[in-house]
């Protein structure tokens, strides 16, 4: 009889409570400060990272080979016959490739490493849906055949409050970042089909940024039923405003607030970002 283990990295932004509730093994990114490094979510919380962000922007590193090996070994010891590992987009991190390499050393358990080609709550939704399928008794084969279809049904859009952290992290040019800050421009970005960030415009001011996200969502709802998750980048007021302004829209089946954006991603987006993850409902 099959027993399936489920693993994901901390870029999925799933809370520790939900991970434990759904029996999901966490592969934590490393959050590296000048004086110390931490296992994401385990040794450093999102709130701890945001509090320190003004003083120091830490570096990040993918989950260690040791952590991946230990998690799979634990699954074997628990009697698992199969393991599904769901990772952040391979365009953003080497986690997916590292997981594939680690799996080659495990002959007693059948593995499937899935590149979500996304991140944050969109990745987390895929993980939680997989956990639900495991609980419902779906087979390893059934689940691994369904997983790739999630990519076509789930889209993400983010409004960043500042370009500062993308600039400091080398994600955009210094001049572009400086001009953007001076003009109070808020970039709107999405995750393209190839798993990379793609800018879709800039608006002036936070209110316009939130309105832009609503406009994007309405474009989806005009075509049919969807669910939405609001991504909280340490921006509780914006999240509540979005919730109040979209929860009663026609064709919106469900509206939830996703877990707070964690250290692995928050170091690049900074405090105050907000986003929406839109899922097509069949």
The larger pLDDT score, comparing residue 169 to residue 91, is at 91
Residues contacting residue 141 through CB under 8 Å, at least 6 positions apart: none
Residue carrying structure tokens 């393991």: 83
Looking only at the bridges linking them, the beta strands covering 37-39 and 30-32 are antiparallel
156 in the Ramachandran plot: left (φ > 0), alpha (ψ -120 to 50) or beta?
Answer: beta
**Spatial separation of the C-alpha atoms in residues 256 and 231, rounded to whole Å:** 9
With H, G, I as helix, E, B as strand and everything else as coil, classify residue 111.
strand
Which of 3-17, 188-202, 255-269 reaches the highest mean pLDDT? Answer: 3-17
Boundaries of CATH 3.30.1180.10 in the chain? 154-280
Least confident of 64-73, 157-166, 179-188, 195-204: 179-188
The Cβ-side half-sphere exposure at 76, using a 13 Å CA radius, reads 14
**Cα angle for residues 180, 186, 192 (degrees, 5° grid):** 110
Q: According to the model, what pLDDT value does residue 170 have?
A: 54
In tens, the pLDDT along 139-164 reads 999 999 999 999 999 999 999 887 77
Which own/partner pairs from 189-194 qualify as long-range (CB within 8 Å, at least 24 positions apart)? 189/157, 189/158, 189/160, 190/155, 190/156, 190/157, 190/158, 191/89, 191/117, 191/118, 191/119, 191/122, 191/155, 191/156, 193/117, 193/151, 194/91, 194/117
Phi, psi of 180 (to 5 degrees): -60, -45
CATH number for 4-28+63-151: choose from 3.40.50.880, 3.40.50.720, 3.40.50.10440, 3.30.70.141. 3.40.50.10440
Average pLDDT over residues 109-120: 98
Confidence of residue 166 (pLDDT cuts 50, 70, 90): low
With H, G, I as helix, E, B as strand and everything else as coil, classify residue 30.
strand
Boundaries of CATH 3.40.50.10440 in the chain? 4-28+63-151
Confidence of residue 54 (pLDDT cuts 50, 70, 90): confident
**Spatial separation of the C-alpha atoms in residues 96 and 80, rounded to whole Å:** 21
Average pLDDT over residues 93-112: 97
Q: Which residues of 183-195 are buried (b: 16+ CB within 10 A; e: fewer)?
A: eebbbbbbbeeeb
Note whether 97 and 69 are within 8 A (CB). no
Q: According to the model, what pLDDT value does residue 190 have?
A: 92
| Residue-averaged pLDDT of the chain | 92
In tens, the pLDDT along 195-243 reads 998 888 889 899 999 999 999 999 999 999 999 999 999 999 999 999 9
**Cα angle for residues 74, 78, 80 (degrees, 5° grid):** 95
Note whether 37 and 116 are within 8 A (CB). no
The larger pLDDT score, comparing residue 92 to residue 181, is at 92
For the entire predicted model, the pTM comes to 0.93
CATH number for 154-280: choose from 3.40.50.2300, 3.20.20.70, 3.30.1180.10, 1.10.150.120. 3.30.1180.10
């Amino acid at each position: 009889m099959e027993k399936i283990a489920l693993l994901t990295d901390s870029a999925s932004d799933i809370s520790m409570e939900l991970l434990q509730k759904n029996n999901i093994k966490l592969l934590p990114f490393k959050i590296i400060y000048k004086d110390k490094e931490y296992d994401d979510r385990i040794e450093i919380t999102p709130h701890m990272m945001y509090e320190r962000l003004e003083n120091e922007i830490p570096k990040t590193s993918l989950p260690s080979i040791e952590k991946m090996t230990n998690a799979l070994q634990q699954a074997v010891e628990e009697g698992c016959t199969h393991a599904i590992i769901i990772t952040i987009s391979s365009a953003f991190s080497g986690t997916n490739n590292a997981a594939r390499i680690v799996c080659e050393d495990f002959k007693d358990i059948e593995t499937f490493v899935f590149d979500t080609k996304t991140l944050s709550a969109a990745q987390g939704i895929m993980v939680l849906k997989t956990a639900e399928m495991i609980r419902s008794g779906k087979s390893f084969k059934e689940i691994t055949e369904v997983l790739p279809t999630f990519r076509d049904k789930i889209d993400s859009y983010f409004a960043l409050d500042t370009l500062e952290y993308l600039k400091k992290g080398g994600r955009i040019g210094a001049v572009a970042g400086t001009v953007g800050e001076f003009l109070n421009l808020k970039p709107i970005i999405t995750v393209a089909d190839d798993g990379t960030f793609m800018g879709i415009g800039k608006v002036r001011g936070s209110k316009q940024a939130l309105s832009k996200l609503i406009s994007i969502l309405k474009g989806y709802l005009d075509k049919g039923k969807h669910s939405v998750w609001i991504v909280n980048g340490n921006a509780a007021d914006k999240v509540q405003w979005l919730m109040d302004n979209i929860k009663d829209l026609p064709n919106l089946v469900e509206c939830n607030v996703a877990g707070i954006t964690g250290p692995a991603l928050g170091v690049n987006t900074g405090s105050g970002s907000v986003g929406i993850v839109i899922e097509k409902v069949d």
